[in-house]
Amino acid sequence: MVSNKDQLPRVFQANLDRFFDRVILPAMNGLPFHGVLETGQAETLDQFLDRAAAQVDNYTGSEAAKAFCLTLAGLFERQLSIWARALQDAGEAGMSGLQGFESLLARCARHARIDLAAEPLGADLTELFVVANVVRHGEGRSCDRLRAIAPSLWDDMAEDYFDLLPGARVASEHVRIGMPELLRYIRAATRFWGLADPLPMAVTNPPYGAG
């Protein structure tokens, strides 16, 4: 008989996969995106309105991607917490009293003998968590940390996003999250649970963002 704690990684992986396929992908694919936002004096009212609509479209897509990062991070962290409690209830030592996402991730990975430095699995999961903190809180320590660990998430030369307010740019408002990042994050989360899965035919190499 398979124990509950041994079934959980597969359940978690399946739930993440379904959420991504049924919610995130359709929502992101349904949002229009404009590569370059036109500026300057509009020649007609229709042209002005089209430009304004394009700016709103891109802003909406950016906000959706950030919101999905926040949701994915929260879902994955809750899964880690549930698994840690199941392991503790099953008599696994050292799974209680964990504080914070990174200590929880490290302890669960150690239990499953997962190398977080590989691929880099741990870096992508940590980046997702820090992105979620920046989305939630804006400027502050998390934003400074994200600039240090993932500078590629900023592109000061990009022409597809404008500030809502004039003046100096606010770093937390210019985090660049799109489908490449979402694919990288969902692949890391589902791969983690595949590697933690002790049952036969575990999916350890999910297709998101591979190749």
pLDDT tens digits, 90-129:
777 666 667 789 989 999 999 999 999 987 899 999 999 9
SS3 4: helix
**Considering Cα of 68, then 74, then 177, then 105, what sign does the dihedral take?**
negative
Tokens 């041994």 belong to 6
- Quick one: pLDDT at residue 100? 84
Q: What is the pLDDT of residue 2?
A: 56
pTM: 0.89
Looking at residue 209, what is its pLDDT?
54
Residue 9 confidence (pLDDT) above 50: yes
CA–CA–CA angle 117, 120, 123 (5° rounding): 85
Where are the domains positioned within the chain?
13-196
Tell whether the model's pLDDT for residue 210 goes beyond 50. no
Task: Give every CB contact of residue 22 below 8 A, 6+ residues apart in sequence.
Answer: none
Q: Which amino acid is at 34?
A: H
176 vs 22, 52, 64, 209, CA distance in Å? 23, 20, 12, 17
Q: What is the pLDDT at residue 165? A: 67
CB contact at 8 A, 133 and 126: no
**Residue 79: which of 103, 55, 104 has the closest Cα?**
104
Query: pLDDT tens digit string along 137-187?
Result: 999 999 999 999 999 999 877 777 776 666 777 888 889 899 999 999 999
| pLDDT digit string, tens, across residues 47-69 | 888 888 888 888 899 899 999 99
Model pLDDT, residue 93:
60
Q: How many CB atoms lie within 10 A of CB 72?
A: 23
Q: What is the rounded CA–CA span in Å between residue 63 and residue 173?
A: 10
Asked whether the predicted pLDDT for residue 89 surpasses 60, the reply is: yes
If you search the block for the tokens 């992508």, which residue do you land on?
124
